[in-house]
Structure 1
Amino acid sequence: MADPVSKVDLMHIAEGFLPVTHAVGWAVVAAPFVVHGAIAVSKQVKENPETKMLLGAAGAFTFVLSALKIPSVTGSSSHPTGTGLGAVMFKPPVMAFISTVVLLFQALLLAHGGITTLGANVFAMGVVGPWVAYGMWLLTRRISTDVGIFCAAFFGCLSTYVVTALQLAFAHHSGGLLSSAGTFLLLYAPTQLPLAVVEALVTVVVFRSLSKIAIPELRLLGVRA
């Protein structure tokens, strides 16, 4: 197996970088969230069909941003996630399903991530990231909408990075769990921190644009532009 520190794409764990037991375990943990998300998406479309455009926009935004590869100091790459926008507009359960679809297509079409590691990637990017993003939105939106969106995207991205680093540390910790976790976190931080800032700024710009063309839909979702 290749050196996981120097070869893995941190935000999308590649095929073969997790032991079978870890891959299965993360799939089992992520599965209930994905099922719940699929139900939430179906309910959203049935009750508010007018929001299909925004749902598609959230999915496309996540796909495009999370498919980007930014070189890191390790010789590997880091990635934005794009889940903060959808988490704010549709709440986290919807993003668990959308992220699963995005990650599945990326694994099949772009060799980005993997099928065996899908559960781990979904849990980090589709479960933890959106819930942290939504929590930060609730905490900061009273300051201003822009601040709320920025914090949601920034912390959603960073939390995904932290969880993925811990997942890798659990799988590859020959030098000790804490040491491995520190290695993954520190080596990717120089890339991931500024990347999270850029993602947050882009998310603010995209939300501003959507708020000008989809005011009725955002009101249906309970989001004040």
Structure 2
Amino acid sequence: MLRRIYLLALAAVLALQPASAMHIMEGFLPLRWCLLWLLISLPFVLLSYRYVARQIKATPRMRSTFALSAAFVFILSALKMPSVAGSSSHLTGTTFGTLAVGPMALPLVGTIVLLFQALLLAHGGISTLGANIFSLSIAGPFVAYALYRGLGRLGLGQRLTIFVATFCGSMATYIATSFQLALAYPDPVGGILGAAWKFLGIFAITQVPLSILEGVMTVLVIGLLAQSGQSLLLQQSPAAPRRSGVRRPQLILLGVLGLVCLALPILTNFFDIGTGTDDQAGEMIGQIAPHFQEQPFWEGFDPGDGEAYLFALQVAIGIALFVWGLRKYLHSRKQEEA
């Protein structure tokens, strides 16, 4: 009963409002490019749904692992952080799920998160949904997974491997975004590559310190779970806890980290963290194509000063989903050990 109430409440939240602005804002891409990226991304989303369904059917514990992966994206993608050159941007959170469920699970996760942010937070877009799915949920996760597997064969330490995979996966998301905009708005002099360098100057450079932070957070969370006997990495058997109380310190640290993540969006309401990279991208498009005019699929609402609290709500939902997923995971582990 409680599960049904939770799912109904989540569905109600998802349906609250229409909007516009995550990696590429509503109206930033011409219609033909919106359709192209949608056609590219849609098969991945459909295959992702089938992949997740098969994984859950084959291994019931995957249901909770998938919930944990989605929760991590919900939490980290809501963190708008200050970066270099007076700008701010978001973390992605996709590598955790990539390593726990597999990269094919992320197109479905990313679609859920991007729809949530577009419909409720005026962050992202409906017409640009296909483009944002590709950058966030396809390019980033597959780059991260390829590096994780490749570096793993070299015998590097697991923490370093996870960190590098996370860093590069996060960077790949924003590099893909830069080229998506460059293809739609080639520079009059430098062409597509010239425009790409300009957009990379906005997205990629800004993302370097945030990708480092995301790498540290991903290693930390996976490490804390592993220390408590809950290894969620794909193709790695979970280790049994040595004693019943071994989980408590790690879970307390996870709780503290969750509270910090919950506080960060609210703090942005009181401190200037710089102009968002999406706004800077709009200015760059105006410089490259002076006759550019935004063509939103629909007019969204402006959350104004309430944006920070809406992002905090997203973090809170992510935390609730993470707690639910972890409890389900621990329960399934106990059943398997019984």
When normalised by structure 2's length, the TM-score is: 0.60
Candidates 169, 180, 184, aligned match of 1:156: 169
Is the aligned partner of 1:204 residue 2:219? Answer: yes
- Alpha-carbon shift at residue 120 of structure 1 (Å): 0.2
Note the alpha carbon deviations across 1:179-206, whole angstroms, 9 max, x for none: 2110011233332111111100000001
Note the alpha carbon deviations across 1:47-82, whole angstroms, 9 max, x for none: 111232221111011112122223456766322111
Corresponding residue SS for 1:222: coil
**Structure 2 unaligned blocks of 5 or more:** 1-19, 239-338
Is the aligned partner of 1:60 residue 2:54? Answer: no
Partners of 1:196 and 1:57 in 2: how far apart? Answer: 20
Aligned-pair identity (%): 43
Show the counterpart of 2:103.
92
Matches within 5 A, 1:76-87: 77-87=88-98
Partners of 2:228 and 2:111 in 1: how far apart? Answer: 28
Counterpart contact for 2:83–2:209, Cα < 8 Å: no
Partners of 2:204 and 2:162 in 1: how far apart? Answer: 22
Partners of 2:181 and 2:81 in 1: how far apart? Answer: 19
Candidates 184, 187, 190, aligned match of 2:205: 190
Partners of 2:200 and 2:187 in 1: how far apart? Answer: 16
What letter matches 1:143 in structure 2?
Answer: L
Q: Evaluate the alpha carbon distance shift between residue 110 and residue 134 of structure 1 in structure 2; reply closer, same or farther with a 3 A threshold.
A: same
Partners of 2:84 and 2:181 in 1: how far apart? Answer: 17
Show the counterpart of 2:183.
170
Show the counterpart of 1:3.
none
Matches within 5 A, 1:6-85: 12-71=23-82, 77-85=88-96
RMSD: 2.1
Counterpart contact for 1:73–1:188, Cα < 8 Å: no
Partners of 2:82 and 2:184 in 1: how far apart? Answer: 23
Counterpart contact for 2:175–2:203, Cα < 8 Å: no
Show the counterpart of 1:147.
160
Partners of 1:196 and 1:144 in 2: how far apart? Answer: 19
Partners of 1:189 and 1:29 in 2: how far apart? Answer: 23
Show the counterpart of 2:310.
none
Candidates 220, 232, 238, aligned match of 1:218: 232
**Structure 1 unaligned blocks of 5 or more:** 1-7
Counterpart contact for 2:95–2:166, Cα < 8 Å: yes
Which moves more between the two structures, 96-105 or 49-58?
A: 49-58
Q: How many residues align?
A: 215
Partners of 1:119 and 1:25 in 2: how far apart? Answer: 8
Corresponding residue SS for 1:70: strand
Partners of 1:52 and 1:148 in 2: how far apart? Answer: 26
Note the alpha carbon deviations across 1:121-151, whole angstroms, 9 max, x for none: 0011111111000011112233121112111
Partners of 2:34 and 2:84 in 1: how far apart? Answer: 27
